[in-house]
Structure 1
Amino acid sequence: MRFEFTAPLWEWASQGGWYFVTVPEEASEDIREIPRPPRGFGSVRVRVSVGGSTWTTSVFPDSKVGCYILPMKKAVRVAEGLVEGGDVPVSLTVLDL
């Protein structure tokens, strides 16, 4: 299952230095419906591409907004010139199927 979306980069205020992109509501609902074994913190393994960078990570449910959040590694933010509040074009493939 693959999703393409653009969302702003934001910093997690209570844990400075951690940056995320919020997976849109519709895509989050689709991901939530995929039957899979439970993983820590409700995480879902994914492969992500942003610009020329591709990596494997996990998305995590955010109970405050009801969507998954995607952590954005510093190396990717630097390589792709991403800044807080800027739009990030994401290609996300769910690996836990």
Structure 2
Amino acid sequence: MELAFTGRVIEWRGPAPYYFVAVPDEESADIREVAATATYGWGVIPVEARIGEVAFETSLFPKDGGYLLPLKKAVRGAAGLAAGDEVPVGLTVRLR
């Protein structure tokens, strides 16, 4: 499953800061339709993601009926991302 959207980089401040892009409602609904064939447990969804020229593998986190795309420091650095940036995202949901 291929998806594309634009989202804002958000920072969650916990014991250590984490950065995410929230998957929009429409795309989250599409992911929920295939979640049972994609998840490997705990509701996380394995994906291949692209932000600009930076491609990476990660897993979407379920949150309040939607999903969050985590952005590791290496990804943020390579793509030049900071909290508040609006970014184009491409996702490929990896189905089992």
TM-score by length of 2: 0.89
Tell me whether 8-17 or 86-95 shows the greater mean CA deviation: 8-17
- 1:17 is aligned to 17
Give the alignment's Cα RMSD to 1 decimal.
1.5
Segments of 5+ residues of structure 2 without an aligned counterpart are: none
Equivalent residue of 2:42, what SS? Answer: helix
- 2:70 is aligned to 71
- 1:55 is aligned to 56
Structure 2 CA distance for partners of 1:37 and 1:19, relative to 1, 3 Å: closer
TM-score by length of 1: 0.88
Higher share of residues assigned strand? 2
Equivalent residue of 1:88, what SS? Answer: strand
Equivalent residue of 2:37, what SS? Answer: coil
- 1:5 is aligned to 5
Identity of aligned residues (%): 45
Q: Deviations over 1:55-82 (max 9, x none)?
A: 111101102xx21000001111111111
Segments of 5+ residues of structure 1 without an aligned counterpart are: none
Q: How many residues align?
A: 95
Q: Deviations over 1:40-65 (max 9, x none)?
A: 320011000111111111101102xx
